[in-house]
Amino acid sequence: MNVNAGLLRSEQICVTFHPCLGVLVTKYYGVSLLISQQVLEQLSDPKLYQLRFLDRAIVKGRHDPISVYEVLAVVPDPIRELKLITQPDFEAGIAAYRDRNQMAAAKVGFERVLSANPDDKTAALYLERVSQLLEQVCQKTERVFGLLPRSKKSQDGEHF
């Protein structure tokens, strides 16, 4: 099967073999067009679409996460240019985020993206996730070193 979505101009489109990924997912990430990894593998020339990896999502009714990508080729020029310019920082942030031991580096990457493109909703979502993870780590560290009182749950055997 050869999937060629064409370079459509629309508000929000999701091209995927998983029907549960629809308009809600495009709205969540703040993108106009996204595709799944399965669709990407069917494209004859993926570089034409200027793809940006967004996330690994678990679709309702499935157990394995799927990769989703934003199609930048359909994004209006000023926004597309900003996303292409910030793509190295975005990708560095994603790589650091996925490492789980590099949250500070992930935060820096996403902050750089947002300093150049404050409207990048996906970068803002990742920055929010990173900030929450860093806060959890700080709270656990403070409890371990006695800077915060331990909760009943942690006193009953939570492992740090």
pLDDT, one tens digit per residue, over 6-22 is 433 334 445 554 555 56
Instruction: Report whether 117 contacts 82 (CB < 8 A).
Output: yes
pLDDT of residue 144: 55
Distances (CA, A) of 139 to 142, 144, 153, 159: 5, 9, 14, 13
pLDDT of residue 119: 96
- In this structure, which amino acid lies at residue 118? P
122: Cβ–Cβ under 8 A, 6 or more apart, which residues?
A: 29, 30, 31, 54, 55, 70, 90
CA distance 108 to 130: 10
**What are 59-100's pLDDT values in tens digits?**
777 788 989 999 999 999 999 999 999 999 999 999 999 998
Instruction: Report whether 52 contacts 32 (CB < 8 A).
Output: no
More confident residue, 64 or 50: 50
Domain residue spans of the chain: 1-75, 76-160
**Model pTM?**
0.74
**What are 102-125's pLDDT values in tens digits?**
999 999 999 999 999 999 999 999
Q: Return the closest-CA partner of residue 96 out of 66, 140, 129.
A: 129
Q: State the burial class of residue 2 (Cβ atoms within 10 Å of its Cβ: 0-12, 13-18, 19+).
A: exposed
CA distance 136 to 11: 36
How does residue 136 score in pLDDT terms, banded at 50, 70 and 90?
A: confident
pLDDT of residue 20: 52
